[in-house]
Amino acid sequence: MYSSKEYAEHVKKTSPRSPVLKNSVKAFFVGGAICALGQALFFIYLNFADEKEAQLFVTVTLIAAAAFLTGLGIFNKIARFAGAGTLVPVTGFANSVVSPAIDNKKEGFILGLGPKIFTVAGPVILYSVLSGALYGIILYAVEVFKKLS
């Protein structure tokens, strides 16, 4: 039986080293390509909508494309290649919602898809809403304090 220290040393010796530079470059270029696609879509949508609507359309388009590609199994191949490059934009969030739904579709809508769809994205949604609410309360308190002083 290994002690904690011996086990950590054993894992360090036997685990393959990650090609950090290679992975970083792939993530940078794929993530950048996704963002460049978003920027191109933004310029296209500006021809049909104002700036706020164009931003919304870009977000919706990227989420829909990522969900569609996840359903076809293509997004996961891109993610395996690019790593974190696909997680940073909204496409990673869309993938985190659709993947569990696909994995659990055999159990049906009630026991599979419904309860499992937000297993990955649920904590992100929860803590982003809570932190946004907390930030709003703090900002409101600061504004009230400024008016009182």
pLDDT of residue 1: 66
- Its pTM stands at 0.68
Question: What are the start-end ranges of the H helices in 46-84?
Answer: 51-72, 74-82
The whole-number pLDDT of residue 89 equals 64
16, 106, 115 from 87: Cα distances, Å? 23, 26, 23
Report the C-alpha gap between 123 and 13 in whole angstroms. Answer: 34
Give the pLDDT confidence score for residue 125 in this predicted structure: 76
Q: Which of 102, 70, 72 is nearest to 86 (CA)?
A: 70
Cα(137)–Cα(135) distance, rounded to whole angstroms? Answer: 5
**Number of alpha helices (DSSP H) and beta strands (DSSP E) in the chain:** 8, 0
The parts of the chain modelled with pLDDT lower than 70 are 1, 88-89
Amino acid at 125: I
